[in-house]
Structure 1
Amino acid sequence: MILDFGVRNLRVVFDSPELNSPPVYSSGDVVSGKVLLELTGETKVHSLKLHAEGFARVHWTESRSAGASSAYTQNYSDEVEYLNHREVLLQADNGDVTVLQSGKHEFPFSFQLPEETLVTSFEGKYGSIRYWVKVKLHRPWATVRKVKKEFTVIEPIDINTPALLAPQAGTKDKMARVWYRNCGQVSVTAKIDRKGYTPGEVIPVFAEFDNGSSRCVEPKAFITQTQTFIARGTMKQKHSVVVTLRGDRVGPRCRETWHGRAIKIPPVGPSVLQCRIIKVAYTLKVCVNVPGTSKLCLDLPLVMGTIPLHPFGSRTSSVSSQCSLNLEWLRMGIPEQPEPPPDYSAIVSDEEAEQNMAPPSAEDDFTGVLQRPYFAYIQEFRFRPPPVYSEVDPNPQFSSIRRRCMTC
């Protein structure tokens, strides 16, 4: 263990809008914070430099056999750079040293992420996408003191687009065989309202399982995540099941229908679609387990987004299977603040108001309501002003009676 008597602490702190919550950035955002340096005594410093980096990296090893007695190991690796920013926080102009007194020192920093689309942070088995800030403290006749802190980048994926709001459907069938003998055909048809979802949403699955075989089959649906790593023209994949939905067994020559069976998406990371060497994709698989033969599966692609469905989009997605989706009306400008309604005096003149507010004559009372058209009495109230709004109940006795009746 090497003791550093001059420097007690060196760390990086990011500015966060919420206390005790790490910040999350996207392309074009400004990353800001400060470097905290705590010294135990007077210290000479050559420079204090900051280096922000972002890389997507993949690496894995495969063992290959070249014959009966020989084998060799092949390494695959690749990387893509997304961020490279350097900044000098402390350095003398003439290249001389700077003397810092004992105590705590703060050095603020700020830089902007590239405007072009970055890639969401990701940690996988054979690769990762990481962003970090590294700070180096250079002193004369002393080892370089380093500190590194990562930050998260999430690129927004808006599911309110025509491509992700389009319904997904398909049909697949298979001949069930037992010992080279056909025992009937099994088919599955499935449909979901759209392609794009966000974690926490519920996917209603509409499916029909037609079991034409002589054996019972078991339907189920599950969401899978596929991580794809690419290096030197070779691909490595890792599949994992996110959530599973099981159905009731379907007997021979029977049919089972799912009328929107719900499968809830657990907290998972968003899809990674823009990286050249790392892909993260999701799939809804609707399958049928047939005893004695391989599984019949229908794949419906999914995209895990970060921007949830807008209130207007929920209605369009529910009817998207019945009519073509037209989103032109969503691009129409909606005023931020509605215009107030016109005054009553601007519509009805004072003479008309006084005339309509006058009490009815004896011959125009309501005793003969059945002898005259009902529309005539409606016309009398057409230009009457609306009642004045008040927080006080105008009929307290009636309200108390109504409350007593409700409790009975």
Structure 2
Amino acid sequence: MGKLTVFEIVLTNVGGICHAGGEVLGQVVVEVTKDLQVQELSVECDGRSQVFCIDTSKSTVIEGHPAIAIPHADEEVYICTSTILCGRQGKENGCLRKGRHVFDFTFHIPPHSPNSYEGEFGYVRYMLRARLKKSWEEENVTRKIRVIAKLDLNTISHVNEQIERSEEMTTSSLFSQQGVCHSALRLDRQGYVPGEIIPLSHIVHNNTARDMVVSLELRMLTEYRCQTITHTLKNRLQTIKYPKVAARSTFEQRENGLRVPACPPSHLHGCGIIHITYQVVLKVKPARLSLKRLRIAVTITIGTVPLRRGSLVTALVGNRPSERRWLTMPPPTYEEVMGMAAQKARSPLRADSPILTSLPDYEPLRARANTDSSIVKVQRR
């Protein structure tokens, strides 16, 4: 025993990142202090999604015992292949001589594989596993890889179009007549990448006798599909709260405080059991106890390749340079976005932090914007 001192997987891919349709390149490094007889040394690439749900609607009740919920699970496999590096079926001899040995390997990720994702009730995960089988025991070492599925916003027709939604709510107080609160939310476009600001405007006409509370949210909706069960989880990625809107008054705001955090692309294309959508939500409700609620939700698309044109907003803020300056600023690089997310994950969450939930494991492409022409360029490593 004790002959094996080093057994690890070293990836050539920068940061352990691979794009769907690309290759995973790496080496299995083995170092022994004495000659070691091995039956087989292999490396495996496994990529799959799994979902776990509990069906409480069909819980079985046994007399004298609490109800037993029925668990359900489902999975999809995208890649499961292995390569023998040394051993009985390999090209090398089954004896590892004293010293350091390096075995190269290459795996091709299918082009339609979904993006890596880690969620509360499921995941899309890609793993490398090296196995060294000896006559009396087996050694294992694993390495996680991140797969990035390309979602080019320039190939989606509607994401560069302006969108506006409006709703109204009727309410009254004890000593006053009914009044109507009318609200509207407008976005200049519907497609963004992590690190970009979401420019928007909203207005609240409070023609009631009650004060109103207004807030704005960026929300991620994850739908887990497990056999016949569908479970939707809502996560608030960012929240902005405004002062109360007084009775018989109007509140109008041009907002530039919503920035897309590090998050997986919309829809999670290629995965049939996990579906992701994003919404910008305007919420209006009476300041005091009331069951009345006004909610305007606009669905947006988060991609990995930004729009090349039309990223400036003129309909919302006009053409004055002082108002357009923050829109012409380039979004931070993906490395900066991921670095900020990792730093927040390591530090305790403050009460005033806009990030309310942990973000999924995600590493997108690198994007920069040309501030002179407002044409976004994408750089690949």
TM-score (norm: length of structure 2) = 0.75
Aligned partner (choices 43, 47, 56) of residue 54 of structure 1:
47
Q: Which amino acid aligns with 1:162?
A: S
Counterparts of 2:232 and 2:47 in 1: how far apart (Å)? 23
Q: Secondary structure at the match of 1:202?
A: coil
- Counterparts of 1:342-361 in structure 2, within 5 Å, are none
Compare the two structures and name the one with the higher strand fraction: 2
User: For residues 42 and 297 of structure 2, what CA distance do their matches in structure 1 show?
Assistant: 51
CA apart distance, 1:319: 5.5
Query: Which structure has the larger Rg over C-alpha atoms?
Result: 1
1:11 matched residue in structure 2 = 8
1:212-231 equivalent positions in 2, closer than 5 A = 212-231=207-226
The DSSP-based 3-state class of the residue aligned with 1:104 is strand
Conservation of the 8 A alpha-carbon contact between 2:172 and 2:210: no
Distance 1:57 1:180, change over 3 A: farther
Note if contact 1:46-1:97 (Cα within 8 Å) is conserved in structure 2.
no
Which residue of structure 1 aligns with residue 295 of structure 2? 297
Query: In the aligned structure 2, how far is the partner of 1:57 from the partner of 1:39?
Result: 37
Aligned residue for 1:45? 38
Report the CA distance between 1:288 and its aligned residue: 0.8
Across the aligned residues of Structure 1 and Structure 2, the Cα RMSD in angstroms comes to 2.7
Letter of the aligned partner of 1:265 in structure 2?
V
Using the aligned pairs only, state the percent identity: 22
Q: Point out where structure 2 has 5 or more consecutive residues left out of the alignment.
A: 319-381
CA-to-aligned-CA distance 1:126-159 (integer Å, 9 cap, x gap): 11110011111122x2212111111000112222
The answer as to whether partners of 1:119 and 1:272 remain within 8 angstroms in 2 is no
Return the match for 2:132 from 137, 159, 162: 137
User: Greater relative contact order: 1 or 2 (C-alpha under 8 angstroms, separation 6 or more)?
Assistant: 2
Equivalent position amino acid for 2:149 in 1: E
- Give the AA of the match of 1:89: L
1: CA distance between counterparts of 2:51 and 2:165? 34
The CA deviation string for residues 298-339 of structure 1, in whole angstroms up to 9 with x for no partner, is: 0000122111232x3325x646999xxxxxxxxxxxxxxxxx
| C-alpha distance after superposition, 1:200-221 (max 9, x if no partner) | 2111221111112110112221
What pairs up with 1:157-196 in 2 under 5 angstroms? 157-160=151-154, 161-178=156-173, 183-196=178-191
Deviation at 1:264, TM superposition (A): 2.4
SS at match of 2:158: helix
- The 5-angstrom pairing of residues 59-70 of structure 1 reads 59-63=52-56
- The residue number in structure 2 matching 1:29 is 22
Stretch deviating more after TM superposition (30-39 or 154-163): 154-163
Which sections of structure 1, spanning at least 5 residues, go unmatched? 323-408
Once the two structures are superposed, the pairs formed by residues 115-154 of structure 1 within 5 Å of their partners are 115=111, 117-139=112-134, 141-154=135-148
**What is aligned with 1:308?**
306
Distance 1:53 1:215, change over 3 A: same
- TM-superposed CA distance for 1:94, in Å, is 9.2
2:7–2:29 CA contact under 8 A, matched in 1: yes
Deviation track 1:19-63 (CA, whole Å, cap 9, x = no partner) reads xxx131122111111000111211112221121110010113354
User: Which moved further from structure 2: 277-286 or 83-92?
Assistant: 83-92
Whether the 8 Å contact between 1:57 and 1:127 is mirrored in structure 2 is: yes
Distance (Å, rounded) in 2 between the aligned partners of 1:98 and 1:12: 19
Supply the distance in 1 between the matched residues of 2:30 and 2:92 (Cα, whole angstroms). Answer: 20
How many residues are treated as equivalent by the alignment? Answer: 311
Distance 1:180 1:281, change over 3 A: farther
Match of 1:344 in 2: none
